[in-house]
C-alpha cells in the first residue's frame, strides 16, 4: 500500500511531464540513466550562478563555499553507504572510472597466473578493466557461470574459490536482468579464501539500502546518474587500507603533497585518488539527489518499486508470445524480454513511436547475452517515479507492436 503522495513525487521530475507525438512520455529506461528531480537541476544551477570556483584552493569566499559544499557531499555519501570514514569515499566520473581505478591501481599487487573471478552477467565496465589488468600482469580471468535460470551459480562459485582467486569482482544487481546477487554471502566466501572483493553497485544504490560495512567488501562502486543525480560523477568506496595501496591511475594537481623535479610525494586519501579539478557541480548535484532520496519514505518507495515490478512481469506474461529472462522471486529495477521471433531493435523502434522508451540490444553485457544464447533483448526499467499508468501504457503499446508484427 502506497501511503505517500506518489503523484507529488513524480511531479518533481520535469522531464516526465512531456508528451511525444500524441502520447505522454513513458520512460522505462531508468537503468540506463534516471531522470533528475528539479532540486538536483537547481543545485547545479545555483553553484554555477553564485558559487562557481575551484575547490581546495580556498583563498577567497567563492572557493571556500565551493569547497564546503563539495566536501559536505563526501560526508553525505559516507553516511548514505555507511562507510566508516569519509577518506574512504572517492569522487570519480562514474562506475566505469571507479572500476578502472581499482583494476589499474592493483597492477603491482597482481602476478602472473593470479586468478580474477568475474560475474558472467557483468556489465562490460566490470569485465574489460580486469582483462586489461590480466594483459599487463599475466593474471587469468575466470567467469563465474550462471545457473539455467540465469542466476549466479553458487556451487560453481565455491568450486572456483578453490583456485584461491586474488580478486572477485561481482555485480550487486545485473543491469540487463535486474537479478540480485546474494552479495553478503558471496563476499564472505571470497574473503574466506583471501580474495579482494569489488562490488559493482551501479544498479543497486537507487533501489536497495546499501551498507558497505555490512557487505564487508573492499571496494563498492556506483554512478550518480542512475540514482537521480547528474552524469559525470561516480563513487569509488574502498576500505582505507586497500584504497591507500592503489597506485593512482591519474596523477597531477590536487593529489600531491610536494612536487620537485627530483621527487614527488603523493598526498593522503581521499585527495591522492582525485587528481585534477573534479566535477564540482556534479558532486553538488549528487548531494542534492541524496538529500532528495533521504527525505522520502525509503521503505515505502522500495515496496512501491517491488509491487510495480511484479505487476510489470505479470502483465508481460499475460500478453503472451513473450520470452522473459532471469525472472527470480525478486528482480530489481529491470525486466528483460523479447517478443517471440522478433528482433529486439524492431520492437524498440515501434515502442518508441508510441513514446515508450525502453532499451534494446546487448546492454553492455555481451557475455551474458552469449550465455543466454541471445543476440540481444529489450529491457524495461523502472525508478521511484514510475507508476502503474507507465506500465499500462507500455503493455498497451507492446500489444500493438505484437499485433503489427505477429
The residues annotated as belonging to the active site are 364
- Residue 84 CA to residue 96 CA, distance in Å, equals 24
Instruction: Report how many residues bind ligand PMP under the rule CB under 6 A.
Output: 13
Q: Which residue has the cell 578453490?
A: 162
At its nearest, how many Å lie between ligand PMP and the CB of residue 209? 18
Q: Which residue has the cell 531508468?
A: 30
- CB nearer ligand PMP, residue 204 or residue 397: 204
Stretch that binds ligand PMP, among 40-48, 53-61, 196-204, 313-321 (CB under 6 A): 196-204
- Residue 286 CA to residue 111 CA, distance in Å, equals 37
- Residue 343 CA to residue 323 CA, distance in Å, equals 12
> CB-hemisphere CA count at 13 Å for 213?
10
According to CB under 6 A, which residues from 358 to 377 bind ligand PMP? Answer: 364
**Opening angle at CA 201, ends 32 and 230, nearest 5:** 50
- Determine which residue in the list 114, 119, 200, 282 makes contact with ligand PMP, applying CB under 6 A: 200
- CB nearer ligand PMP, residue 202 or residue 269: 202
- CB nearer ligand PMP, residue 36 or residue 123: 123
Instruction: Indicate whether 230 belongs to the interface with ligand PMP (CB under 6 A).
Output: no
Contacts with ligand PMP, 17-56, as mask; x by CB under 6 A: ----------------------------------------
Which of 133, 93, 135 minimizes the C-alpha distance to 275? Answer: 93
- CB nearer ligand PMP, residue 30 or residue 242: 30
Contact present, 153 and 144 (Cβ < 8 Å): yes
Q: In angstroms, what CA-CA distances link 57 with 4, 176, 220, 275, 362? A: 44, 42, 29, 14, 44
Contacts with ligand PMP, 85-124, as mask; x by CB under 6 A: ---------xxx--------------------------x-
Q: In this structure, is the dihedral angle defined by the CA atoms of residues 322, 324, 330 and 333, taken in order, positive or negative? A: negative
Helix (H, G, I), strand (E, B) or coil at 155: helix
- CB nearer ligand PMP, residue 171 or residue 242: 171
- Determine which residue in the list 117, 180, 186, 202 makes contact with ligand PMP, applying CB under 6 A: 202
- CB nearer ligand PMP, residue 126 or residue 338: 126
Q: In angstroms, what CA-CA distances link 150 with 117, 121, 122? A: 17, 8, 12
- Determine which residue in the list 223, 331, 338, 354 makes contact with ligand PMP, applying CB under 6 A: 223
At its nearest, how many Å lie between ligand PMP and the CB of residue 61? 33
Q: Where are the beta strands (DSSP E) in 43-185?
A: 89-92, 115-119, 140-144, 167-171
Q: Which residue has the cell 505517500?
A: 4
> CB-hemisphere CA count at 13 Å for 81?
32
- Determine which residue in the list 120, 203, 315, 338 makes contact with ligand PMP, applying CB under 6 A: 203
According to CB under 6 A, which residues from 58 to 77 bind ligand PMP? Answer: none
According to CB under 6 A, which residues from 120 to 179 bind ligand PMP? Answer: 123, 125-126, 171, 175
Which of 86, 111, 90, 87 minimizes the C-alpha distance to 99? Answer: 90
- Residue 267 CA to residue 252 CA, distance in Å, equals 11
- CB nearer ligand PMP, residue 35 or residue 67: 35
Contact present, 193 and 169 (Cβ < 8 Å): no
List residues binding ligand PMP (CB under 6 A): 94-96, 123, 125-126, 171, 175, 200, 202-203, 223, 364
Amino acid at each position: 500500500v502506497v501511503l505517500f503522495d506518489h503523484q507529488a513525487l513524480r511531479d518533481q521530475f520535469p522531464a516526465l511531464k512531456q508528451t511525444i507525438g500524441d502520447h505522454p512520455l513513458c520512460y522505462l529506461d531508468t537503468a540506463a540513466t534516471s531522470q533528475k528531480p528539479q532540486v538536483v537541476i537547481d543545485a547545479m544551477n545555483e553553484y554555477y550562478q553564485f558559487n562557481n570556483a575551484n575547490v581546495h584552493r580556498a583563498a577567497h569566499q567563492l572557493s571556500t563555499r565551493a569547497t564546503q559544499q563539495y566536501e559536505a557531499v563526501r560526508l553525505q555519501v559516507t553516511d548514505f553507504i555507511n562507510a566508516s570514514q569519509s577518506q574512504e569515499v572517492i569522487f570519480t566520473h562514474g562506475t566505469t572510472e571507479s572500476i578502472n581505478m581499482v583494476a589499474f591501481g592493483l597492477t603491482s599487487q597482481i602476478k602472473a597466473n593470479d586468478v580474477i573471478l568475474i560475474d558472467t552477467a557483468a556489465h562490460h565496465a566490470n569485465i574489460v578493466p580486469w582483462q586489461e589488468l590480466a594483459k599487463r600482469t599475466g593474471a587469468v580471468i575466470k567467469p563465474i557461470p550462471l545457473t539455467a535460470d540465469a542466476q549466479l551459480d553458487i556451487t560453481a562459485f565455491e568450486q572456483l574459490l578453490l583456485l584461491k582467486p586474488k580478486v572477485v569482482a561481482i555485480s550487486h544487481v545485473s543491469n540487463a536482468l535486474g537479478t540480485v546477487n546474494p552479495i553478503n554471502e558471496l563476499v564472505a566466501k571470497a574473503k574466506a579464501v583471501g580474495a579482494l572483493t569489488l562490488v559493482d553497485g551501479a544498479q543497486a544504490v537507487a533501489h536497495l539500502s546499501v551498507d558497505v560495512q555490512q557487505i564487508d567488501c573492499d571496494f563498492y562502486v556506483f554512478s550518480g546518474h542512475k540514482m537521480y543525480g547528474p552524469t559525470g560523477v561516480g563513487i569509488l568506496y574502498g576500505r582505507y587500507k586497500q584504497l591507500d595501496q592503489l597506485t593512482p591511475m591519474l596523477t597531477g594537481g590536487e593529489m600531491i603533497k610536494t612536487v620537485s623535479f627530483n621527487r614527488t610525494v603523493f598526498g593522503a586519501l581521499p585527495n591522492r585518488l582525485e587528481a585534477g579539478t573534479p566535477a564540482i557541480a556534479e558532486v553538488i548535484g549528487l548531494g542534492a539527489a541524496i538529500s532528495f532520496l533521504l527525505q522520502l519514505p525509503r521503505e515505502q518507495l522500495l515496496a512501491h518499486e517491488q509491487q510495480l515490478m511484479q505487476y510489470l512481469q505479470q502483465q508481460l506474461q499475460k500478453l503472451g508470445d513473450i520470452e522473459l529472462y532471469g525472472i527470480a522471486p525478486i528482480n530489481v529495477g529491470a525486466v528483460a524480454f523479447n517478443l517471440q521471433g522478433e528482433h529486439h531493435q524492431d520492437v524498440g523502434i515501434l515502442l518508441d513511436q508510441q513514446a515508450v522508451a525502453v532499451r534494446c540490444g546487448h546492454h553492455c553485457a555481451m557475455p551474458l547475452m552469449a550465455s543466454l544464447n541471445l543476440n540481444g533483448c529489450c529491457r524495461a526499467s523502472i525508478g521511484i517515479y514510475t507508476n502503474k499508468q507507465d506500465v499500462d501504457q507500455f503493455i498497451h503499446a507492446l500489444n500493438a507492436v505484437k499485433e503489427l508484427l505477429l
